[in-house]
Amino acid sequence: MNSFKVSNFIIGNPLRTFIIAEIGINHDGNFFKCLKMIKLAAKSGANAVKIQTVDHNESYENKTKSYKEFKNKNFSNNQIKRIIKLSKKLNLIFFSTPGDLKSFKRLADLKVPIIKVSSGLSNNFPLIREIIKKKIPLIISTGFSERSDLIDLKKFLNKFKFKKISILKCSSKYPLPYKEVNMDNLHQIQKIFKYPIGYSDHSLGIMAPVVAVAKGARIIEKHFTLDNKAKGADHKISLKPKKFAEMVRYIRETEKIIGSNRIKLSKDIKKNKKRSLRILAAKCMINKGDKFSLENIKFVRPNKPKGKSPKFFFKIENKKSKNKFYKDQIIWKNSEYKYSIY
């Protein structure tokens, strides 16, 4: 899997998930509410905050539900500059989802460090091409994508040499029941793409994002709100600051549990290994000439971590002892007891 750097964060790091607080339009067009939400997102442990930048006249037909919902939700360039400044001060990466080419050009001029393409725009290849031409790191959600759509997207992206791309598993249903999350297909998405893979969540609560990290997601996007009962489509599936902080904590603990993929013992476990693994000892008196068997050999945890592993038993089974062994005596070669099993 590729990884790439945005500001001070490496997206694709297996032990540091990129956690996005998706404000979207949950600020309700209120600039100062948005600033408050950004401060609380930082306090909750997010690595990034994201809003949606949409020109409703460019993106939606007049009088549609989306047209009405996104009307008057945009901020001016000066306001976005203030948001960027605050985010940097709080060590957050600010970026946005453009709803249209006009909005993307605004964001590009403002030097936003990442562009997110929503599920509803994942087949808008002209928009994706323009983003790639600007060489701006790109995150694409796939909430409406079947396997054939993912293959088409892969073929299109492969036309470019641009590598700063990540793909998010997503299901565009609000809210998404757990039985429809299907987190196991995260691996299928990873097989299709060589980019960092993440998860954009529309389920309730914090379980799905935590499971996604355990399954290999390197990015988590979760909607963020101040009030789950507020008017608007995204509020009810969003997390309030306290719950968002809980999700972050569980994700960070999950990262610790995931650890390294190397099969290697730590120094402490190696010490415990010496003290814990069993070694051969005499179960009873063994006279010279007696044959070793399970009747006269036992396997004990010793006071001193010196002796022969139970695996060694097969080398001596049914062979005659050349020495006399007392009950409970440890059987090992060249020992202080000066006896041998050979």
Domain of 253: which CATH number? Answer: 3.20.20.70
Token pair, residue 170, equals: 């997503």
Q: Which of 197, 229, 258 is the last residue of a domain?
A: 258
- The CA-to-CA distance between both ends of the chain, in Å, stands at 53
339 within 8 A of 325, measured Cβ to Cβ:
yes
Token pair, residue 289, equals: 């000439």
Domain assignment of residue 35, yes or no? yes
28 within 8 A of 54, measured Cβ to Cβ:
no
SS3 call for 170: strand
Please give the chain's pLDDT, 342 residues, in tens.
Answer: 689 999 999 999 888 999 999 999 999 999 999 999 999 999 999 999 999 999 999 888 888 888 988 898 999 999 999 999 999 999 999 999 999 999 999 999 999 999 999 999 999 999 999 999 999 999 999 999 999 999 999 999 999 999 999 999 999 999 999 999 999 999 999 999 999 999 999 999 999 999 999 999 999 999 999 999 888 878 999 999 999 999 999 999 999 999 877 888 888 888 888 888 899 999 999 999 999 999 999 999 887 767 888 999 999 999 999 889 999 999 875 443 344 443
Domain tally for the chain? 2
> Same structural domain for residues 146 and 239?
yes
113 within 8 A of 134, measured Cβ to Cβ:
no
> Same structural domain for residues 217 and 339?
no
Q: Which of 206, 237, 258 is the last residue of a domain?
A: 258
